[in-house]
Chain A
Amino acid sequence: MDLSFLTVQVLSALRQAAFLFLISSGLTLIFGVLNILNFAHGALYMLGAYFVYALTLHLTGPAGFLIAILAAPLGVALIATVIETGLLRRIYMQEEIYQLLLTYALVLIIDDLAKIVFGPEFKSIPKPEMLSGSVTLFGGTVPVYTLLVVVLAPAVALLLWYLLYKTKTGKVVRATSSDREMADALGINMSALFTLVFAFGAVLAGLGGALAGPVRTVFPGVGTEVIIESFVVVVIGGLGNLWGALVGSILIGSLETIGIIVFPEFEMALIYLLMVAVLVVRPWGLFGRPLKIKALSEKNLAMEAQEISPVHFTVHPAVRWAPLLLLLLVPLFAGRFYQYLLTQIFVASLMAIAFNLLLGTTGLLSFGQAAFFGVGAYTVGLLLTKAGFGTLPALVLSPVVAAAVAGIIGFFCVRLSGVHFAMLTLAFGQLIFAVVFKWYGFTGGDNGIQGIRVNPIPFGGMGALDLGSTQAMYYFVLVVVGLSVELLRRIRSSPFGATLKAIRENSQRASFLGVNIKLYQWTVFVVAGAFTGLAGGLYALMEKSISPEIIHWSKSAEPVFMTIIGGIYTFAGPAVGAVVYVILNSYLVAWTEKWALVLGLVLLTLVLLLPGGVVGYVNEKARQTLGKLRCIHKWPFSKSATS
């Protein structure tokens, strides 16, 4: 290794760190003051790049380029101001999942709008002549633009330090992030400050995008790639901590550069491995502190009426069995397309209901469920194609393997709570994704596994069940999912389920009942993982080909959407959400290219207007009617209590 090589690599690592810092510093600043993990931060970065692109179409020459680089972040700030005052402000009192979802809905909307305005293709932004050359440094050839970025980012860091530590507004920002109420009582206008901080964070993201545009390409969705990396940075550094963001950026930037040279296969896995390692040793990140848990009075108690408690109510058997009966009859009058669509819905429902056992029942937001889905699917795929297993044994093993993986991941995750829990599940999920994506020898890498042969299931000499037809597969999946859902319903209605609910409502009180909180959370994590794995196994059987995309984090977002659409505090909600989601997905994709935009708007509307979801709304409004129609029946516990 000579000096010239080293110089080039160090500078490349620093350039990567510089971009990461510009984005994650804004992200961590916003989190520190507003307590919101802004998913849309990547989309703001993308807008910064697009604005430079649009401006340089009209402004040419070095001066035009400079103006574009400076003006783009201001445009982004303007959009951020509209987002904060128009949308975010309405949900500061809500639970964190709604804030996360609202910003995620914005990602979908902004991405699609960008596609409409700028087109779906990759754009490259020309650099002015004076910045496109390269210089020789210690014998290595280094682009001038890289030097510019590497010098600019520390300048921004210095400016940030100056603003936060030397100006009154900066001190006010730091004061507010440690004690909002006190700041309020000292005459600080919180609303104005929140808008300012959000807009300023957006300026940093926009600047990152503007500077990165000319060296990386721009396309709709580029923000989502960036945001996950930035999450890794701020979580490693400690949420809300600026020095954490700086150190995290340098760590990740270096690791990526080293990874490309030393382990080109597993470069992506390395950063998630680092994140997992850091969080296991320091759960709040390198410089982070435990977040204050919101007092119960601050939590949103409005949804109390949406949960039809299994302790007090029984659903009339007819209401439960009628849909099943109907579904059994569907193939008699519906064609193969509809059977296939419904099979998809069954699998999605199972995944969503299992997910909601974590979120709705226990209060744990997992952002890594796709990993268990993928483990289940790959278990079936590999056992059938490589190990010559029968269909049924392979399917039975899919929840077992997923449960084992969930057992290991859960062991580390249940030590955390809230956003940190969500981020660690995300990191583990992406780690598994990265390994599957690159391990050509075992998983087939990004090619996935094609042509999975589903052999007939033998019935001990009495013939065999052939799953070759769409209809046979429909019935098979219906039965497996039906049984699983019934099992999940039982779990939720059992003493175990009641205890999980108690943990969700007040984990400290629950521990004073003599309940080992972490053990229960771990157990339910494993159970949810197992059923998600089974859903993955069914998916592999019905699709007959799988690819690593099913493990990507965006797949983990699906059960979150379904649950929010249907209703977080209801049992059937996630299934209803799955119906809506899969149908929207199938039909909108055929009808319009803007399906993400529509989905984003649907989510936005739900978060703002119907946070309890469709089924939650029905439960709340129609409980009495449901009782009168005998759809639900109240359970009498004792004569003395009910008389």
Chain B
Amino acid sequence: MAILEVRNIVKSFGGLRALQDVTLSVEKGEIRAVIGPNGAGKSTLFNVMTGLLAPDSGNVVFDGEQIIGMPPHRIIRKGIGRSFQITNIFPRMSVFENVQVALFSHHGKSRNPLHLARKFTEIGEETIAILEQVGLAGKYDMSASILSHGDQKRLEIAISLASRPKLLMLDEPTAGMSRFESRETVSLLQRISREQGLTLIFTEHDMDIVFAISEKIMVLQQGAVIADGTPAEIKANPEVRKAYLGEEITES
């Protein structure tokens, strides 16, 4: 059964058609890549799906429910987590606090103004458990701003996991990482998806990673879907090849 149905999304900015009739269907537990050259509309699509942008037309159904028109914080509560291309953490808070504050929100405790935050021991344990999952438990008391780039990305994934999403959307999860860090992150994502039945949608420019972990790949170019299929199908698709290498330029 499809957990996410994106139907005929159209979005224009001024005269520019950023998304032209984009349709996408993702099965529960699937790992799906969305790729395309710069400016293909990947980020716009993610922003529409998480309520940051309103589309001109089309709809998005998540887990049987129409989510277009909801503000981001409500869409999150429905079970869509998101990590960003530009690392998006709480820099002057500790690694622990970064995840703990997300768990407070998830458990509906954020409004509690009178109990000491550190005394929520169950949430504390859960925080440590998530940090262990992403391999940051040993750095739990460090300020997030002084982590390495790879660790910051991992922390961001941990924050997203804390809202216990059914679907996690990742915008270039390995951008700016060393080869070693990327490999670690990729296996982390695979493991989480397998263990928790989590559905993943991600964009990525590193093709090694895209082909290593995706079950299906969608290719966008100038806002339109030019291909959607298994890694093998995508590799063989001449349209995709052209999108990446550029059109043969005929003498003008």
Contacts and interface: CB of A to CB of B under 8 A. Distances in A.
- The judgment on whether A and B are partners is yes
Interface of A: 295-296, 299, 301, 303-305, 307, 309-312, 314, 487, 490-491, 493-499, 501-502, 505-506, 508-517, 520, 527, 569, 634-635, 637-638, 640-641
Contact of B105 (A487, A514, A638, A641): A514
B179 interface: no
Q: How large is the interface on B (under 10, 10 to 19, 20 to 34, 35 or more residues)?
A: 35 or more
Given A505-B90, A509-B159, A514-B77, A490 B105 contact: no
B132 interface: yes
Nearest to A487: B114
B93 A309 contact: yes
A311 B110 contact: no
A397 B26 CA distance: 57
27 contacts: A301-B145, A309-B94, A309-B97, A310-B118, A314-B118, A493-B116, A494-B115, A495-B101, A495-B110, A496-B111, A496-B113, A497-B117, A498-B101, A498-B104, A499-B104, A505-B93, A506-B89, A511-B76, A513-B106, A514-B73, A514-B76, A515-B73, A637-B125, A638-B125, A640-B128, A641-B128, A641-B140
B46 to A, nearest CB: 12
A501 B113 CA distance: 13
Given A301-B91, A502-B101, A512-B82, A637 B76 contact: no
B125 A502 contact: no
B91 A296 contact: yes
Contact of A310 (B91, B116, B127): B116
A301 B146 CA distance: 9
- Closest 3 A-B residue pairs measured CB to CB? A505-B90, A496-B113, A495-B104
B106 to A, nearest CB: 7
A513 B146 CA distance: 22
Contacts of A304: 91-92, 143, 145-146
Nearest to B87: A296
B115 A311 contact: no
B127 to A, nearest CB: 7
Nearest to B98: A502
B73 A516 contact: yes
A634 B141 CA distance: 10
Given A493-B117, A495-B120, A513 B105 contact: yes
Contact of A307 (B72, B76, B77, B92): B92
Contacts of B76: 511-514
A308 to B, nearest CB: 11
A448 to B, nearest CB: 35
A512 B115 CA distance: 24
Given A310-B117, A513-B106, A641-B131, 12 more contacts: A295-B86, A309-B94, A309-B97, A491-B114, A495-B111, A496-B110, A502-B90, A505-B90, A513-B76, A514-B105, A516-B73, A517-B73
Most B C-beta atoms less than 10 A away, residue of A490, A495, A638 = A495
B113 A498 contact: no
Nearest to A520: B110
Contacts of A490: 113-116
B2 to A, nearest CB: 23
